[in-house]
Amino acid sequence: MKLVVFDLDTALCQTSGMDGFAMASAIKDVAKCRIKPETVRELHDLSAIWYRATRRFPSALDLAGLQKRFSFHLRRQFLIRPSVIPANYGLIEQINLLQHKKDTIVGLVSATSATVMQLRANAIGLVCATLPHATGDDADSLPGILLSLQTRVRRSFGFYFDSFDLIAGLAWQTAATAAHMNHYLPADYLKSGSVQIRDQIRDSQLTRSSKLFSFADC
Residues 62 and 136 in one domain: no
Residues 93 and 192 in one domain: yes
Indicate the residue among 80, 103, 133 that finishes a domain. Answer: 80
Indicate the residue among 53, 80, 107 that finishes a domain. Answer: 80
- Indicate the average pLDDT of the chain: 86
Distance of CA 128 to the CA centre of its chain: 10
pLDDT at 198 over 60: no
Summarize pLDDT for 77-107 with one digit per residue, the tens.
Answer: 888 877 667 889 999 999 988 988 888 999 9
State the pairing for strand pair 133-135/104-110. Answer: parallel
Domain count, the chain: 2
Residues 76 and 95 in one domain: no
Summarize pLDDT for 144-177 with one digit per residue, the tens.
Answer: 999 999 999 999 888 778 889 999 999 999 999 9
Residues 30 and 99 in one domain: no
CA angle 170, 86, 137 (to 5 degrees): 60
Q: Which of 2, 214, 10 is nearest to 117 (CA)?
A: 10
Alpha carbons 126 and 12: distance in angstroms, whole number = 9
> According to the model, what pLDDT value does residue 171 have?
93
Residues 66 and 154 in one domain: no
Alpha carbons 2 and 23: distance in angstroms, whole number = 35
Alpha carbons 189 and 193: distance in angstroms, whole number = 5
Region 102-119 average pLDDT: 92
Domain of 132 in residue numbering reads as 2-12+87-209
Among the ranges given (17-31, 46-60, 76-90, 106-120), the one the predictor scored with the smallest mean pLDDT: 76-90
